[in-house]
Every structure is written in structure tokens, then in C-alpha cells.
Structure 1
Amino acid sequence: MEESPITDAPLGKRVPSRPCDSASPAWRQAPRKPGRRTEPLRVEVIRNLAGFDALAAEWNALVMRVDDQVFYRHEFVRCWLAHFGEGAPLRILTARDAAGALVAVLGLKEEQGHQYGVPVRQLLSLTNKHSCRFDLLAEEPKAAAAAFLSHLMGDPSWDMLRLSDVPEDGAAWALMHAARGAGMPWGAWPSAKSPYLVLPDTVAAWTKGRSNAKPLRRRRRRLEEKGRVEVERVSGTERLEARLEEAFALEQSGWKAQQGTAIGQAEHRRGFYTALARVAAERGWLGLYFLRLDSRPIAFQYGLEYGNRYLAMKPGYDEALAEVSPGHLLTEGLVQDCIGRGLKELDLLGDDAPYKREWTQEVRQHHWLFIYRDTLVGQTLQRSKFRWVPVAKRMVGRWVRRR
């Protein structure tokens, strides 16, 4: 399905993916430091890994103050940079208050790219399909956005700024407000709708009324006829390397190998997920689950456990056993284990998919945010992406339907 760009609706009147609920659990809220700053923020630019590494303690302290998600933590970003950002010039913007405290960061890299054949000097968020989620980290997003945008407006070395997979309620939308206020070309494009499941207090409450409960019981009985079935959770460093190899081999045995997207088929993907698993295991965040048949792995879920949420990053299953849905059986066992340990949410991450909708109808909308320099090049790039090309696609679509 083709998504429509957002360019004309008032930014202050965006419709959220779900209504704001004052009774929402505290862990879903992004706490902001109270009070308004009157002093100007000092913007600095980090251009190398040494400078980024030196920010580790301050960076994580800021994350914990403003929006404590594992994808924003220094350790996660460092793993990503080591395996997906190697060689890319960094342009990490930081803002400090009058006392020198770090109050905002925006992780960017420089890249030469093309848009519809036109060369473009880009500033891109430190993201790809493996980073899951991105945002501006700021105690006061409005003040940080104004400071960062003012800095960028004085720098003629870029044409387009793109932030990928920003949540619907993300702080980075403040940059869009600032750009619009400054008269700069901008646009927003819907990206992933990530399903998530709010977990109840008991397994019984979750099972009651679930439409797939009976079919899964039947499939489990059929699987148990083949041998002993058990769920394993790996959270520490013991036997971690061997377990990761089992997961990578299982994923590479299926359709992902045919498409070339399996973790084990690319050194940078294997390196990222291996390094992240080690860091997560050391810090108590790892949640690597297996469904085993007579000790043989037939499904796995690579995920992180952070902030009372289970974050499901990479699944895989033995396609030879597809008739008994090993992936769904593992998800059922995983959810039961998470409820038993008091977790409050299963975040299925990534794009919407029918197999995810078997567990929930709730989704989190994400967007790609674009800001262009107010130059002839920037104006042309914005109009081509958000006006001319969408109009041309609609005209071609109408012509094809009328034939």
C-alpha cells in the first residue's frame, strides 16, 4: 500500500496513532525535566568515534531523563556504528546549557546520495532497518530543535536532513515545527507501523478470549507427538556464542537466505547482532528464546528486555514444521514467560505483518522526517518528493485502472 506524504496539515494538529490517555502506565510516558530554560544552548559537533565514546556516561544519563529506551542508549548506538556506520563521517549534534550539562543530542552522519537522479548532500540519522527506532533526545525539545536548526542553517554543506523511524509522539517533531517556523521546506512520510501488545497481570487474563488459543493448543499437541517440546530462555553469557550460532543457522535455513537477508549471510549483520547480544547479556537486557523439539531448535526469537518491555527484534523458525506454527508456539510461550516475570509490553517492532496481527491490533506509527535547506536545490528536492512524484504516481495509477 502506498502511503501519503504529510506536508500541508498543521503540525500542531497531527492525529496520534492512539489517543492520549492520562491513565496510561508511567513506563509509557517520556519524562521531561520541568521548567523552562532562558539561557541559550551551546551547540557542539562530534565528528569521530573517540568524541562519541567520551559522551557515554552523559549520553545515557540524558536518555534516562528524557525517554529511556534501549535503542537510544549509547551502547546500542555504539554497536550500530561499529557494524553499519563504519567509514561514514559523523555529525552528532550536542547541546549544553550554561552550566555545561548535556541537555540534547541528535545523532547524524554525512552521506552523498541521490534523489530521482539528482546528487544530494545528506545528513542522515544513525539508523537502518536494524536500529528499530530513532528520536531527538532533549530535555526541552523545542529549545533543542531551535538551537540545532539555527546551527544547521548557518552550515551550507548539506541539502537535506532525514530522520528515519521517528515515533508518532517523538521529540524530533519539534525540529519540524522549527523548520516550518523558519520557512524551510519540509515533509513527513509514514514508515513502520509496529504492532505491540500490552500484557495483563496474569496468563489466565491474557488467554481468555484469545482467538488463536485453541488452534495453537491443537498444533502444540501435534508437535508433542513428534517428541519433547520445551521453551528455553537465554539471558546470560554462558553458552551464548553457541546459542547465537544455532539461531543464525536456523534463520539462514529458510526464505530469508533466498532473499539474502539472513543475519549470517553478511558479516556486518552477524557482527552487530553478536556484539549487541554480548552487551545485552552483560547488562541483563538479553532475551534470546528458543522452541526446542528433542533439544533441536525449531524456532527462535532474538530480543531485548528493557524498561518492563520485551522488544522482539529477529525471529526465525524451521519451515519444514510450518504446519504446526513453531514461531507462534514460541511466541505464546514467550508471552507467558514475560507475564510471569512481570513485564508490561511485548513490542513486535518493525513493519506491520499478518503474523504479528494474530497477537494484537495495536500499532505504533513511525515516520521519516525531512528538512531541506531553503535554497533552489532544497526547494526542488522537496517539491519533487512530496508534490510532483506523488501526483505523477496517482495519475499513472488512474490511467492503469481505466485501461
Structure 2
Amino acid sequence: MIQRLDPDLLEAWDALALATGAPVFARPGWLTAWADAFGAREHLRALTVHRDGALVALLPVISGPLGLRTPTNSETALIAPVVADDDAAGDLAQRLLARRAGTVDLDAVLADHPLTAALRTAAGSTPALETVRCSSPWVDTSGDPADFLRRLSKNRRHGLKRLAKRLDEAGEVSFDVSDGRNDSGDDDLDELLRDGLRLEARDWKLAAGTAIASSPARVAFYTRAARWAADAGVLRLAFLRLDGRAIAFGYCLQQGPTLHFLKLGMDDEHAKLGPGMMITKRLIDHAFAQPGVRELDLLGENESYKADLASGVREQVRVRVYPTPVLGGVQRAATEAVADLRRKAVDRLSDSTRARLLALRNRLQR
């Protein structure tokens, strides 16, 4: 059934997410912070499956005139349906398809999630389109840190050593990870976020409108989410400092075996010191040192610097299932054709033109 998010359901949802070891992004506290900030709280619902009166599967959804979709935008790191087992995933897929009056749009889910696999099976011959959203890199931090370094390319190892030496020669270097409280146990989250968001708001990101500070809704989301995460004990705000001044920032969450690295900020005045790469390397070292943490999830696209460090990638996909064979075939063909035209058009643009168009689009959206 599709349910409103009442307090009892939120409590059961969070308990199931924790019991099944779901990612932190599967927890209602994270998603409701997103919905509150981006004006989607009134439309957010949960498609649920119960067994013997107990919640065994849940997918957050938004219902609209065109169908049923997952609540996503550019700030969505991952949509993680919560399922107790494969049977629950199968039941959830069946209910998802049974509820459709239009297109079912399951976006930002892992390609190998049980619900994704169950939806492929349940869709059968119904027209569907699956596309890769991104390939997110991750670093295995479960073994010996020396093994991690040995598997890096010779050029990358030398580059890390060179940057570390250059940074040490520039002044006194320190690295700290905060859960939102200072050494006295007092809350200093607002001050930490101020410093971090200042570093995240690099000039080129502000020009393109992609910085968190470019949008009041983004600021509200990451502030509210940080407050929830601090209360839940999963917030980790990382800072790389030079002579006491923060030159790089990482907005991170740590739950179970995973340290998630969501947002990177850095001081471009110190670009020659490689602050972005250096804080990433410090976070890898930090993850190795944490009992029970087995990976650093770098999230987002597999950019070249991430690819050099990564142990592997996880594909996020978008699966669209259309309502009827005839209409679905038309919609699928149109979607593919538009995507192809967009790719060809973007490929012909210069880098400067792409940046200007991106900045214009973000201004219009705001």
C-alpha cells in the first residue's frame, strides 16, 4: 500500500533500515530533510509491504499525473529501498507495478539492489528502459593500508608523496574529523558547516550555480541533514588545515562498514598543494584506522582522480517501466531519441559554452 509518513511508519522504517544494514541514505531522517528543503514533504509517500503485521519492505515515492517516481534531484546521492529479504523485494516490485497509472520511474538505485532485479523480472514484456545514472567509485579499506598503496600506479604513488611533501613544507598540517561537537561535548555544528560550505563554494561552482551556497534549498538540505546526522551519530565533517586555517573540507556520513564522502570543498588559493587529493587520502587513512569501517564510498561520477584510487565502482541506474505496450513503446523511443540528440548537441559545445549554459539553467531553476 501507499502510506503517508506518520510517526509510527517513520519509526518502523528507520528500525527496518538499521536491522537490514541499509545505507544511511535509506533512513527516513535523511530523506525527510531532503523533502523539507526542496518542498516535497507534502507529496512524499511510502510504498510498503507488511508480513504478519510487520514492515518488511519500503520504497519512498512521489505520485504525480505521469505516474510514480522516486524522490530525486541533483542532490540525491542514492535512493536505497529497504527490504528484509528477496521475497519482500519481489512483493514490493509487484506492488510498484500494480499501482502504476502511468510510468514507474525508479531512479538513483543500485543496479544490483534486490528491488532493481525484482522489477526487471516483474516487468516481463512490458516496455521498460534502463539507463546508467552514474558509476560511483569506492575504496576498500578493510585490509592493510600498505596493500592499498602498492596497488596504486607508480605515478599516483609518486604524486601523493610529492603533494604531501609540498604541503608539509608550506606549514603546519593538521587533519580532523568532527561529529558536530567540540572536545568539551558542546555543539559547534553551525560553525563547522559555515567553514565547510565556504570552502565548497568555489568560484567556478558559484558561476555555474552548482555550489551548495548557490541555492537556499541546498543550504537548508545540507544543514538540516547534518543536524539529523549529528543527532543520529553518523555525521563526520572532515577538515584539512594549514597553520590552523581550513583549506579542504569533506561532508561525510559514517554508518556500519561505510564512510560516505558526499561533498568536497577546497581553497583554490592553495590549489598547487592539492588540497582535494590530500583530504581524500587522509579520509582513506582515517577509514583504515576506524574499527569496523571497510570502505570509503566516494559517490558521484568516477572522475579520473577517484578512478586512480578506487577499488571498484557501483552502478546507479534509472529504470522506467511504461504503462502499456503501445504507449510504452512510443514513450521509450521518444526518451531514447531525445537523450541521443542531447548527447550529440552537448558533444558539439565548447567547454566555455557548456559552463555558460549550465549557469543559465541553474539561474532559471532558482
TM normalised by structure 1 equals 0.76
Cα deviation for residue 289 of structure 1 reads 0.7
Work out which of the residue numbers 115, 123, 133 in structure 2 matches 1:179. Answer: 123
Q: Counterparts of 1:229 and 1:198 in 2: how far apart (Å)?
A: 26
Indicate how the Cα distance of structure 1 residues 258 and 344 shifts in structure 2: closer, same or farther if over 3 A, else same.
same
Indicate how the Cα distance of structure 1 residues 177 and 209 shifts in structure 2: closer, same or farther if over 3 A, else same.
closer
What's 2:355 paired with? Answer: none
SS at match of 1:358: helix
Q: Counterparts of 2:202 and 2:59 in 1: how far apart (Å)?
A: 39
SS at match of 1:54: helix
Work out which of the residue numbers 28, 36, 41 in structure 2 matches 1:74. Answer: 28
What's 2:58 paired with? Answer: 105
What's 1:291 paired with? Answer: 240
Question: Which letter does structure 1 place at the counterpart of 2:76?
Answer: S
- Matching of residue 46 in structure 1 with residue 15 in structure 2: no
Q: Counterparts of 1:340 and 1:150 in 2: how far apart (Å)?
A: 43
What's 2:360 paired with? Answer: none
Cα deviations across residues 70-93 of structure 1 (Å, max 9, x unaligned)? 110121112121112436523421
Work out which of the residue numbers 140, 151, 155 in structure 2 matches 1:198. Answer: 140
What's 2:72 paired with? Answer: 127
Question: Which letter does structure 2 place at the counterpart of 1:161?
Answer: V
What's 1:345 paired with? Answer: 295
- Matching of residue 230 in structure 1 with residue 187 in structure 2: no
- Long gaps (5+) in structure 1: 1-43, 113-120, 398-403
Cα deviation for residue 188 of structure 1 reads 0.7
- Matching of residue 370 in structure 1 with residue 313 in structure 2: no
Cα deviation for residue 354 of structure 1 reads 1.0
Cα deviations across residues 157-179 of structure 1 (Å, max 9, x unaligned)? x3211111211211222122112
Runs ≥4 residues deviating over 6 A:
390-397
- Matching of residue 137 in structure 1 with residue 72 in structure 2: no
- Matching of residue 164 in structure 1 with residue 107 in structure 2: yes
Q: Counterparts of 1:347 and 1:95 in 2: how far apart (Å)?
A: 29
The within-5 A match list for 1:2-401 is 44-47=1-4, 49=5, 51=6, 53-86=7-40, 89-97=43-51, 99-111=52-64, 121-142=66-87, 144-146=89-91, 149-150=94-95, 152-153=97-98, 158-173=101-116, 174-180=118-124, 183-210=125-152, 211=154, 212-237=156-181, 238-342=187-291, 343-374=293-324, 376-386=326-336
Query: Which structure shows the bigger proportion of residues in helix conformation?
Result: 2
Q: Counterparts of 2:284 and 2:80 in 1: how far apart (Å)?
A: 28
Cα deviation for residue 214 of structure 1 reads 2.7
Cα deviation for residue 368 of structure 1 reads 0.3
Cα deviation for residue 393 of structure 1 reads 8.3
Indicate how the Cα distance of structure 1 residues 384 and 256 shifts in structure 2: closer, same or farther if over 3 A, else same.
same
Contact 2:93–2:115 (Cα < 8 Å) also in 1: no
Q: Counterparts of 1:304 and 1:76 in 2: how far apart (Å)?
A: 11
Q: Counterparts of 1:147 and 1:334 in 2: how far apart (Å)?
A: 37
Q: Counterparts of 2:98 and 2:162 in 1: how far apart (Å)?
A: 61
Root mean square deviation of aligned Cα:
2.6
Indicate how the Cα distance of structure 1 residues 305 and 392 shifts in structure 2: closer, same or farther if over 3 A, else same.
closer
SS at match of 2:263: strand
Cα deviation for residue 146 of structure 1 reads 4.5
Contact 2:22–2:82 (Cα < 8 Å) also in 1: no
What's 1:400 paired with? Answer: none
Q: Larger radius of gyration, structure 1 or 2?
A: 1
Question: Which letter does structure 2 place at the counterpart of 1:107?
Answer: P
Q: What percentage of residue pairs aligned between the two structures are identical? A: 30
SS at match of 1:231: strand
Cα deviation for residue 243 of structure 1 reads 1.0
Question: Which letter does structure 2 place at the counterpart of 1:215?
Answer: G
SS at match of 2:44: coil
Cα deviation for residue 232 of structure 1 reads 1.5
Q: Counterparts of 2:240 and 2:344 in 1: how far apart (Å)?
A: 49
Indicate how the Cα distance of structure 1 residues 302 and 396 shifts in structure 2: closer, same or farther if over 3 A, else same.
closer
Q: Counterparts of 1:89 and 1:168 in 2: how far apart (Å)?
A: 26
Indicate how the Cα distance of structure 1 residues 122 and 197 shifts in structure 2: closer, same or farther if over 3 A, else same.
same
- Long gaps (5+) in structure 2: 182-186, 347-366
Q: Counterparts of 1:87 and 1:364 in 2: how far apart (Å)?
A: 29
Cα deviations across residues 3-43 of structure 1 (Å, max 9, x unaligned)? xxxxxxxxxxxxxxxxxxxxxxxxxxxxxxxxxxxxxxxxx
Indicate how the Cα distance of structure 1 residues 328 and 147 shifts in structure 2: closer, same or farther if over 3 A, else same.
closer
SS at match of 2:309: coil
How many correspondences in the alignment? 337
Q: Counterparts of 1:395 and 1:200 in 2: how far apart (Å)?
A: 42
SS at match of 2:134: strand
Indicate how the Cα distance of structure 1 residues 73 and 319 shifts in structure 2: closer, same or farther if over 3 A, else same.
same
Question: Which letter does structure 2 place at the counterpart of 1:175?
Answer: L
Contact 1:134–1:165 (Cα < 8 Å) also in 2: yes
SS at match of 2:73: coil
Cα deviations across residues 134-163 of structure 1 (Å, max 9, x unaligned)? 2432234455544653575366xx321111
TM normalised by structure 2 equals 0.83
